[in-house]
Structure 1
Amino acid sequence: MGGPHSKGCLQCIRRKIKCDQTRPECLRCMNWGSKCPGYNRVHKFRDQTRHITRKHGQPTMDEAFAPNLIHEAINIQTQESFEIWLNYHFPSYIASFNSRVEMNWMNFIRSRWSTFPQALIWAVRALTSLRMGATRGNKEIIACARHMYGRGIQHLAALLHTRAALADETLAAAILLGGYEVLDGSSDRSWIVHSHGIRHLFCARGPSAHTHGIGRTLLLSWRPYLVADAFIHAQPCFLGGFEWACATAAPETSRTKDQWQKTSVLGQTMDYAFNEVAKCPGYYAMTKYFTTSDTNVDPSTPNALVGCILKSRESLVQLHGMLMETNPPASFVGVIPPMYATTLVQGTRHGINSAVALLDQLMTLLKYCLNKGTKPVLVPDFDDKSQEDQWRLFTGFQALNTNKNQSPLSRDSEELSLAIYAIGDQLDKFSLTMGMGSLSPDACGCPQFSARI
């Protein structure tokens, strides 16, 4: 606050002369021939903050707090954008377990953001930026998303050499960066390399780390891709083991303790179906070995395999019968939002149908091998259209589009086509079918998953 220090009249102060302070009018003004304006002070408030801070070297309030406020606003916006990303690519699949786990993705993101490693933060930013760029048709934003993905990979690589390598946040970062590879990989199969690393993290952490909390959510999120990964490599999926099956079908929790339905029969049915589907890559790998190996195989081993296949098939058929295709009752749906129930049932039924058809084909091959004493050809001849169609029939895969032989898009391509991001709910459908709904034969006859269909 600033004002004159003199007690004289205002005119004497302005004339910079000494006032005699006679009241009500001073004699100096009267002798000068002017009316005295009086002694009332008009105070002015002046912002001296910058002057003081320059004098003492202290930052202003705006300078101290504005960057933090802006940074916090960006973090909140990123978190909300991530929720939009989840709802866009996985609306039904996320709904299948969101209300059945102790901590879902958004609770995890919002409650622990300030403690996240840089790998996880850059993974979230890359995914949300990719979605923004694809939605707006902006290639520059997509280029920025790829840069963010690169930074996330660098931080993840460094994180894997620390004590936090097996932490929830590390696995979450690996999964989200793997999701980025599915959407915008350097090739259609680049996500498989990333998934291989995620599989090692799951195995190193062990089943007990995924029975509760965010660990269970992470397992449920990536398990369809683990099945597809195993099929592609023609090897058993570790999720088909007993301990992992117990972790997948762990007891559920409800959002509120006083909720009359504490679980979802639909959700549990999906989990049990997945446990049987997770065994299918192993059945496929063993059948391929028995039917293509040059060594003599003891007939008891293929017979034992046929017995396991029949048991899994019986379980899948029974679970299929529990899933009413339309309008499942509320008692069956439980805590899962009713609006997603029909979609979840249809997706699970499709996955079960694909698995059953696959098991039937494997049993046919094994029985032929045992009865005839010769080894049938498991790899289909792509010159024979009927065999190719037969393979697609038992995998439940719809015919690929006319661009199936198009070479993978390179990230360095100057002619970037935004059409590759218009996949809609394809990833959601793939997840609902437990990794079974998008299998097709590659040049070697092994099932292959492509995110861009």
Structure 2
Amino acid sequence: MDESVSPSLTVTAVSAQQTQVFTNYVLTAFPCFFKCTETRVPVNWVEYVDRRRGAMNSCFDWAIRACTLSYTASLYDLPEFNDIARSFYTRSLGGLAGLLADESTAKSDEALSTAIVLAVFEKHHCTGPEAWIHHAHGIRALLKLRGPRAHLYGFGRAMYIVYRPILVSAALIEGEACFLEEPEWQSLNEQISDDNAKLPDSSLYTDVVDRGLREIIKIPGYVKRVRELLSLPLTKRAKLEPPLLQSVQATRAALRGIHTEFGVSISMLRAGHSQPRGFIGPLPQFFFEGYSAHVTRGVHAGLTILNYLVIMLDPSQRETLQKEARLLSNTPSNPPSPESVVSPASEYSSPTTPSSSPGPPQLVVESLITPDHKQGPTTDWMDQLTSSMGMDGVRVRIVD
């Protein structure tokens, strides 16, 4: 790769074939998300990497090599490649710091794409329990610096849509609202949906997925507001509780409707009534089924969290909503993921402690992006995190 690393001939070959190795990595780590969104962005990740094949000494290239070497190390059981991957990760971090020192370069695609690739590498390796959160903070800052319109066109859109779900996970774990619920960012999300609707292979399916994400983006903010409300004296809560409960229930109703529409759209596609060109053939059908399963899990988890919030605000609904939570957890993701694993959504079956327990209920959000839960680059873990709209990154329960 270069003189400072003194790589073997095998590593040199990996560098020469970087686009192909990166493509293999993407189709392993993000198979369903990538195949079901690749035509919905002006420039996708594989195309962007391919266009830059001559740029072998940039922080983005070093980040890509860190990921592809880590993938190769895991695929062929070559632990020495992990050491080289780590050196490229460190070098890329240093290069990124240089870009961030100047506002004009900090706003560049180079800076954001590098930050995202490094963040993905960090999730696979989890060098520390909070390291990926620090990456999320940096990416959030870069997105805000660039502004929404920078992600409407070109490669900016591909970068934005792949990291939106992780920002939802991070917001839930930190107990903060997700900034993507702010009007200017929701307007961007709506514009992206409108553009998708104009594509030749557009369908009800893609529209429903987009609308589902826009509702799920609101959930971290609701979690924060409910917690803050319940910490207030009863006299102050009396005025604030009804409108908040109404808002939570309205979002839940919207997400319930989306859940129903999504099931209908899947049935239509399976029946061939609205078959997008991108889903023709046995291999694309595999991606479609997997993506549908991940999205369904995300919607189920979102509904479960909203039900928990309703229980916290209106305990009289507890028994009914506990039954709904059990039904959601027992509803198969349409259908199971092609490479079925035990998903976080399956842990929502009996989420609450008995209603006779003393004290107000509390919502507990547990991160599933940790050294104990991490999965390597030869798994589809990142696909699950992104396609489930960030919901597979957390486990949420309500306790008394």
Distance 1:441 1:362, change over 3 A: closer
Task: Report the alpha carbon displacement of residue 102 of structure 1 after superposing the two structures with TM.
Answer: 1.1
Alignment partner of 1:297: what SS?
helix
Task: Report the alpha carbon displacement of residue 113 of structure 1 after superposing the two structures with TM.
Answer: 4.0
Is the 1:397–1:440 contact (alpha carbons within 8 Å) kept by the matching residues of 2? Answer: no
Is the 2:219–2:302 contact (alpha carbons within 8 Å) kept by the matching residues of 1? Answer: yes
Alignment partner of 1:396: what SS?
helix
% identical equivalent positions: 24
Is the 1:266–1:334 contact (alpha carbons within 8 Å) kept by the matching residues of 2? Answer: no
Distance 1:365 1:84, change over 3 A: same
Task: Report the alpha carbon displacement of residue 296 of structure 1 after superposing the two structures with TM.
Answer: 5.1
Is the 1:397–1:439 contact (alpha carbons within 8 Å) kept by the matching residues of 2? Answer: no
Q: Which amino acid aligns with 2:162?
A: S
Instruction: Specify which of 35, 60, 65 is matched with residue 125 of structure 1.
Output: 65
Instruction: Specify which of 132, 135, 146 is matched with residue 205 of structure 1.
Output: 146
Where does residue 181 of structure 1 map in the other structure? 122
Is the 1:397–1:438 contact (alpha carbons within 8 Å) kept by the matching residues of 2? Answer: no
Distance 1:420 1:220, change over 3 A: closer
Where does residue 89 of structure 2 map in the other structure? 149
Q: Identify the range of structure 1 (420-429 vs 149-158) with the bigger mean alpha-carbon deviation.
A: 420-429
* 2:305 paired with 1:358: yes
Task: Report the alpha carbon displacement of residue 422 of structure 1 after superposing the two structures with TM.
Answer: 7.2
Task: Report the alpha carbon displacement of residue 219 of structure 1 after superposing the two structures with TM.
Answer: 0.8
* 2:257 paired with 1:314: no
Instruction: Specify which of 345, 357, 362 is matched with residue 396 of structure 1.
Output: 345
* 2:233 paired with 1:290: no
In 2, Cα distance between the equivalents of 1:341 and 1:212?
25
Deviation string for 1:247-289 (max 9, x for gaps)? Answer: 22313369xx9x8x24243222111100000000000111111
Alignment partner of 2:379: what SS?
coil
Deviation string for 1:171-225 (max 9, x for gaps)? Answer: 0100000000000121243211111110111111111111122111111111110
Distance 1:360 1:167, change over 3 A: same
Q: Which amino acid aligns with 2:205?
A: L
In 1, Cα distance between the equivalents of 2:71 and 2:165?
22
In 1, Cα distance between the equivalents of 2:30 and 2:375?
17
In 2, Cα distance between the equivalents of 1:116 and 1:237?
35
In 2, Cα distance between the equivalents of 1:351 and 1:360?
14
Alignment partner of 2:195: what SS?
coil
Is the 1:224–1:434 contact (alpha carbons within 8 Å) kept by the matching residues of 2? Answer: yes
Where does residue 225 of structure 1 map in the other structure? 166
Could you tell me which runs of 5 or more consecutive residues in structure 2 were left unpaired when the two chains were aligned. 1-10, 317-321, 331-343, 349-365
* 2:117 paired with 1:168: no
Q: Which amino acid aligns with 2:242?
A: N
Is the 1:134–1:421 contact (alpha carbons within 8 Å) kept by the matching residues of 2? Answer: yes
Q: Structure 2 matches for 1:235-250, cutoff 5 A?
A: 235-249=176-190, 250=192
Alignment partner of 1:263: what SS?
coil
Distance 1:113 1:167, change over 3 A: farther
In 1, Cα distance between the equivalents of 2:35 and 2:177?
28
Where does residue 328 of structure 1 map in the other structure? 270
Where does residue 421 of structure 1 map in the other structure? 376
TM-score (norm. length: structure 1) = 0.67
Q: Identify the range of structure 1 (337-346 vs 180-189) with the bigger mean alpha-carbon deviation.
A: 337-346
Q: Which amino acid aligns with 1:350?
A: R
* 2:205 paired with 1:266: yes
Where does residue 51 of structure 2 map in the other structure? 111
In 1, Cα distance between the equivalents of 2:385 and 2:81?
27
In 2, Cα distance between the equivalents of 1:336 and 1:303?
46
In 1, Cα distance between the equivalents of 2:217 and 2:256?
15
Distance 1:85 1:296, change over 3 A: farther
Where does residue 13 of structure 1 map in the other structure? none
In 2, Cα distance between the equivalents of 1:166 and 1:181?
22
In 2, Cα distance between the equivalents of 1:334 and 1:97?
12
Q: Which amino acid aligns with 2:152?
A: T
Q: Which amino acid aligns with 1:285?
A: K
Instruction: Specify which of 319, 333, 337 is matched with residue 279 of structure 2.
Output: 337
Alignment partner of 1:421: what SS?
coil
Deviation string for 1:130-184 (max 9, x for gaps)? Answer: 0011112121111111111000111011110122101112101000000000001
Alignment partner of 1:120: what SS?
helix
Q: Over alpha carbons, which structure has the higher Rg?
A: 1
In 2, Cα distance between the equivalents of 1:189 and 1:425?
22
* 2:207 paired with 1:252: no
Q: Which amino acid aligns with 1:328?
A: R
Alignment partner of 2:347: what SS?
coil
In 1, Cα distance between the equivalents of 2:55 and 2:81?
27
Is the 2:30–2:380 contact (alpha carbons within 8 Å) kept by the matching residues of 1? Answer: yes
In 1, Cα distance between the equivalents of 2:122 and 2:228?
31
In 1, Cα distance between the equivalents of 2:41 and 2:271?
22
Is the 2:41–2:157 contact (alpha carbons within 8 Å) kept by the matching residues of 1? Answer: yes
| Higher relative contact order structure (alpha carbons within 8 Å, sequence separation ≥ 6) | 2
Instruction: Specify which of 24, 32, 40 is matched with residue 100 of structure 1.
Output: 40
Where does residue 215 of structure 2 map in the other structure? 276
Distance 1:239 1:117, change over 3 A: farther
Q: Which amino acid aligns with 1:181?
A: E
Could you tell me which runs of 5 or more consecutive residues in structure 1 were left unpaired when the two chains were aligned. 1-70, 372-385, 411-418, 446-453
Where does residue 36 of structure 1 map in the other structure? none
Deviation string for 1:37-72 (max 9, x for gaps)? Answer: xxxxxxxxxxxxxxxxxxxxxxxxxxxxxxxxxx99
Instruction: Specify which of 361, 385, 395 is matched with residue 430 of structure 1.
Output: 385
Alignment partner of 1:323: what SS?
helix
In 1, Cα distance between the equivalents of 2:156 and 2:205?
21
How many correspondences in the alignment?
339
RMSD: 3.4
Is the 1:130–1:145 contact (alpha carbons within 8 Å) kept by the matching residues of 2? Answer: yes
Alignment partner of 1:152: what SS?
helix
Alignment partner of 1:84: what SS?
helix
Is the 1:207–1:247 contact (alpha carbons within 8 Å) kept by the matching residues of 2? Answer: yes
